[in-house]
Structure 1
Amino acid sequence: MAVLAPFLVLCAFVLEFHHVEATADTLSCLDSSFCLGELEVIYPGLEIDKCLIVQKDLRKKLTTLWKAPRINFSGADEAKVYVLVMVDPDAPSRNNPKAANWRHWLVVDIQGNALKKGEIEGTTLTEYHPPTPPKKTGLHRYQFMLFEQPPDTSVSLAEKESSSRGKWDLLAFITRFNLGKPVATLQFLTKNYED
């Protein structure tokens, strides 16, 4: 019997591992590794502080009911200003991202002291648009990236960028304003609430 107990524990572990791997709504290692820093995205019924897949029962609220989330970054330097970007790199689908990066939200000049308290005091260049993945396109990643804004830099969108949210060249934007690497990143995955 003493030999049987470790065998049963090992079997349970292997079966559970297999179950997790087989689930369609499980984060891949690549998706999990995106989240860095102490960024928090807070909706009325959902607090996100790590990479996750939004539960099915919350997807409709996320798309149709909830407004822009609160953003909290406890690591913010009170004397600095920040840029917040929210994009969907999977528009219209992860297998065919021809409209990536879809810009869902862009705020610049965010004061560090407000950000540390979970408030966004800055200039909105692109109003918040909730996640609205099309039907039958699977999971979409909604990525939040927080950058330090270089001192005395006025960040804006070019006229062409302002006219469309889709096919946004995020890398060109980052390069143009010398934003460097994000200080914190966070993402959640969700799909159409009717799927």
Structure 2
Amino acid sequence: MGPWTHVLALSLAVCLCHSESTQDKLSTLDASFCKGGLEVIYPELDISECLVIPKHLREKISTSWKAPGIYFSAANKKKLYVLVMVDPDAKSRANPELACWQHWLVADIQGTSLRKGEIKGTTHADYRPPTPPSKSGFHRYQFMLFEQPADAQVTLTEEEKSYRGKWDVDAFLKRVGLGAPVATLQYLTQNYRD
């Protein structure tokens, strides 16, 4: 198993056991996904631990807010990082046939910018806000921060550039030479009209 596969498989297994319509609290496994002190900062929401997005903010996170700030106080000022954001629940948790959906990919992020809550790097996939389909239940939006090896060439294949669904994260991590993430964070949200 690759460094990402074991996290995804475990998360999917637990989440499939929960009722999507009644989930308003995180499962123990969902809560344990968040490690390393990563913060995702939206205009009215600073996410520093795994959480379910409050109902009154779901429309804003899907339609109004742009890419969040990313803060990582443990970033090494002399190193570069790669940020990956995915939805492992596309189309739905019960039917994740489009997983992983690629929401954001930025490489060459300077450690100094992460310590300031900024993203300064090379964007390989523009930020796409969470827009889970209606009646598809809660989706997890996962942020993973990797230390970028000095010789790493972060690129997407033509197929990865042309379609964001069914992204093989493990193949990407292996191809680029990224190890396990240094920090992870996720939030859950559903379609704001549901």
Gaps of 5+ in 2: 1-21
Task: Give the paired residue count.
Answer: 173
Residue 35 (structure 1) aligns with = 34
Structure 2 CA distance for aligned equivalents of residues 24 and 64 of structure 1: 22
Structure 2 CA distance for aligned equivalents of residues 73 and 106 of structure 1: 16
Contact 2:34 2:183 in 1 (8 A): yes
Contact 2:152 2:177 in 1 (8 A): no
C-alpha displacement at 1:152, in angstroms? Answer: 2.3
Structure 1 CA distance for aligned equivalents of residues 151 and 112 of structure 2: 17
Structure 1 CA distance for aligned equivalents of residues 23 and 73 of structure 2: 33
Question: 5 Å matches for 1:1-195?
Answer: 24-195=23-194
Structure 2 CA distance for aligned equivalents of residues 161 and 119 of structure 1: 25
Tell me the amino acid that sits aligned with residue 80 of structure 2: V
Contact 2:80 2:148 in 1 (8 A): yes
Tell me the amino acid that sits aligned with residue 141 of structure 1: R
Tell me the amino acid that sits aligned with residue 157 of structure 1: L
Tell me the amino acid that sits aligned with residue 192 of structure 1: N
Taking every aligned residue pair, what percent have the same amino acid on both sides?
Answer: 65
TM-score under structure 2 length normalisation: 0.88
* CA displacement, residues 30-82 of structure 1 (integer Å, 9 cap, x when unaligned): 10110001100000011000000000000000001000000000000000000
C-alpha displacement at 1:97, in angstroms? Answer: 0.3
C-alpha displacement at 1:174, in angstroms? Answer: 0.7
Runs of 4+ in structure 1 off by over 3 angstroms are: none
* CA displacement, residues 142-189 of structure 1 (integer Å, 9 cap, x when unaligned): 000000001122200011111110000001111111111000000000
Contact 2:75 2:111 in 1 (8 A): yes
C-alpha displacement at 1:125, in angstroms? Answer: 0.2
C-alpha displacement at 1:138, in angstroms? Answer: 0.6
**Cα-Cα RMSD:** 0.7
TM-score under structure 1 length normalisation: 0.88
Contact 2:144 2:185 in 1 (8 A): yes
Contact 2:69 2:118 in 1 (8 A): yes
